[in-house]
Structure 1
Amino acid sequence: MNSERGEADPPPLLDTFFEQDTLTGTRAETQRVAGENGLISTRLVDFVMAVNECLVNVVTHAGGRGRLRLWRDGERLLCEIRDFGPGIPASYLEDTGLPAPSQVGGRGIWLIRRLTDGAAFATGPAGTTVHMVMKTTG
């Protein structure tokens, strides 16, 4: 329910579960839907790259499967990715710097934050939800 206007949220443009075997299809479908809903050029590439980083993190670190939902809200595209893993350690979310070149991994969250217009992480022992926002103009 959209509490500001007292209206029900619109149905998602895309609502799908994913795992290792469906990553390519999920990424392609995300790109198609985002392109049809106002993202173009480098904004589309950046958004799809951020979504892909999140999908790969879920498959690699959070139980191997998750759910992706995508909505349009005016001139913003909203993406929610949920997993069923053990949660992200707080130190990973608190550290906003680029990991050292010698560090293996650790760039997914950093990229998600920089490639989108906004990213929020809610995490705990029952899983993590990542919300990403991308303006369709700008």
Structure 2
Amino acid sequence: MVFRHEAFGYDGIDAFVARVTDFARAGLADDAAVLVVAPPERLGPVRDQLGADARDIDFRDMAEIGRNPARIIPMWRDWLDHNVARRCVGVGEPVYEARRPPAVVECHQHEVLLNAAFAQVEWRLLCPYSEAQPESVLARARANHPWWEGIANPGFDDDVNTLAQPLPEPFGPTKLLRFALDSITGVRDYVAGRARRLGLDAEAVERFALAVHEVMVNSVDHGGGGGMLRLWAEGDELVCEVRDEGVITDPLVGRRRPKTNQPRGRGMWMVNQLCDLVQVRSSAAIGTVVRLRIAGAGTPHA
């Protein structure tokens, strides 16, 4: 067996707990390493139902680890590498009620990319989806999973180009800035000023400005020597989009942990660690678009 990527629908917390605990106990009975990643309001009931078995299972908070969905694949990769000598089974619920629409879009992208990232790795991942989610979300979930409700899924779509999926245009006014090598510092300072005015604390301002800087440097190096930056507020979030003429061909860009001796290729990895959400789109027709989001002070992002 190679990677078995499966999803199921559940109706309410009791159904979630029953299915996840059965799956986890079956993994323990098979002497497998078991990791459950879900929002915190569901982890507690699962632990309670498992009782003493919970001591042999790893639990992690999806709202923290998966805040930016681009961080989830590296988390699974690290866990699999740590347990390389064992069978491995996991539960991952990337889409949950508090997710905002742009993050749900990136969760769907993540589900597609899982199939490529782990195609040759022997392990099993079970993805719960609440049946209270909109039908559009459930339809995408069914299309993204080779297995659904325990059987091979005839509706699985294995021909999805995640980099080509369009992003919606922003609502309301945007600030447009062109940049090249000699203007990156000034544009970064402008972004930092907008972030402070939105109410971000000093640490968040620095994180976001650094992420924007890294993307602009990539544009200078790989996207024709410069690009265009758009900046706008969306509710309590600051959104920055960088566009250039380059083309990214690796759909997993930024989702592989760099080696310690790797001198280049760390930029998009760093950006994913710094921002609440990162969206990457690229094709010969549009060039490359990288959209970054960060929430205002005191705002939990989902």
- 4+ residue runs over 4 A deviation: none
Out of 173, 181, 193, the position equivalent to 1:11 is: 173
2:185 is the counterpart of 1:24: yes
- Read off the aligned partner of 1:9 and give its amino acid letter: F
Distance 2:266 2:260 in 1: 10
Partner of 1:66: helix, strand, or coil?
Answer: strand
Alignment partner, residue 42 of structure 1: 203
Aligned residue pairs total 128
Q: Which has the higher strand share?
A: 1
Q: Which amino acid aligns with 1:110?
A: W
| 1:92 Cα offset (Å) | 5.1
Q: What residue is the counterpart of 1:133 in the other structure?
A: 293
Secondary structure of 1:10 counterpart = coil
Report the secondary structure of 1:50's partner residue.
helix
Counterpart code for 1:121: V
Q: Distance between the aligned counterparts of 1:118 and 1:26, measured in 2?
A: 20
CA distance in 2, matches of 1:58, 1:121: 13
Cα drift, residue 63 of structure 1: 0.5
Gaps of 5+ in 1: 1-7
- Whether 1:73 and 2:234 are equivalent positions in the alignment is yes
2:272 matched residue in structure 1: 113
SS in 2 for 1:90: coil
Q: CA deviation at 1:91?
A: 5.5
The separation in 2 between residues aligned to 1:56 and 1:72, in whole angstroms, is 23
| Larger RCO (CA under 8 A, 6+ residues apart) | 1
Q: Distance in 2 between matches of 1:73 and 1:135?
A: 9
Equivalent position SS for 1:56: helix
Specify every segment of 5 or more residues in structure 2 that has no aligned partner in the other structure, as ranges. Answer: 1-169
Q: Give the 3 Å change call, closer, same or farther, for CA 104–91 of structure 1 in structure 2.
A: farther
What letter matches 2:234 in structure 1? D
State how far apart, in whole Å, the 1-side matches of 2:180 and 2:266 are.
20
- CA shift, 1:97, in A, is 2.5
Distance in 2 of aligned mates of 1:133 and 1:91: 20
Greater fraction helix: 2
What is the root-mean-square deviation in Å for CA atoms of aligned residues?
1.6
What displacement does 1:98 show? 1.8
Which amino acid is 1:106 matched to?
A: G
Normalised by the length of structure 2, the TM-score is 0.41
**Counterpart-to-counterpart distance in 1, 2:176 and 2:230:** 4
Seen in structure 2, the aligned counterparts of structure 1 residues 103 and 91 have a Cα distance that, compared at 3 Å, is: farther
**For residues 280 and 265 of structure 2, what CA distance do their matches in structure 1 show?**
15
